[in-house]
Amino acid sequence: MNNRIRELRKTLGLRQREFAERIGLKQNAISYMEKNGSTVTEQNIKSICSQFNVNEHWLRTGLGQMFLENEKKQKEFFEIFDALLPDLQDYLIKTARDLLDTQSRLLPDLNREN
């Protein structure tokens, strides 16, 4: 796991100090984690995944995608939805249904694959 924490931090373009601050730790803790993955606690894993939208399975095993893009998009969508007035929420739902219907008509093969 130590290599994946280093890979994640470098992918994010963060220094150890910056990465540590974002998850409530000190720089030396990140340095130690990157050198000796056995020091990573469950809380550290949860904090890293939550703060940086990281796939926990990838962090633990190296399998799958590093980031959870769909969850990030869903979170953003729901934040926007919650900020809308009720009438606009209804309009957004109707528009999304219309888009789905259009997609079904234009891309029938896509529906069979899923």
Crossing angle of helices 2-12/42-52, nearest 10°? 20
Same domain, 46 and 75: no
Q: Are 12 and 23 in contact (CB under 8 A)?
A: no
Closest CA to 47 of 34, 39, 58, 56: 56
Q: Are residues 96 and 45 in the same domain?
A: no
Domain boundary among 35, 61, 87: 61
CA dihedral (35, 41, 43, 46) positive or negative = positive
Say whether both 37 and 80 belong to one domain: no
pLDDT higher than 90, residue 32:
yes
Instruction: Show which of 61, 85, 103 is a domain's final residue.
Output: 61
**73 shares its domain with 35:** no
Q: Using alpha carbons, list the distances in angstroms from residue 38 to 21, 64, 86, 87, 91.
A: 20, 21, 49, 52, 50
Question: Domain check: are 57 and 75 in the same one?
Answer: no
Find all residues with CB under 8 Å of 28, minimum gap 6, and list them.
none
pLDDT at 17: 97
What average pLDDT score do residues 24-47 get? 91
Give the percent of the chain with pLDDT over 70: 93
Report the number of distinct structural domains present in the chain: 2
CATH number, domain of 45, equals 1.10.260.40
Mean pLDDT of 46-64: 94
Instruction: Indicate if 74 and 106 belong to the same structural domain.
Output: yes
pLDDT at site 110: 62
**pLDDT at 102 exceeding the cut of 70:** yes
% of the chain surpassing 90 pLDDT: 73
Per residue in 57-76, pLDDT (tens digit) is 999 999 999 998 777 787 78
Mean pLDDT, rounded, for 73-92: 90
Domain that residue 109 falls in: 69-113
Does 44 score more than 80 pLDDT? yes
Same-domain pairing of 18 and 48: yes
Q: What are the pLDDT digits (tens) for 13-26?
A: 999 999 999 999 99
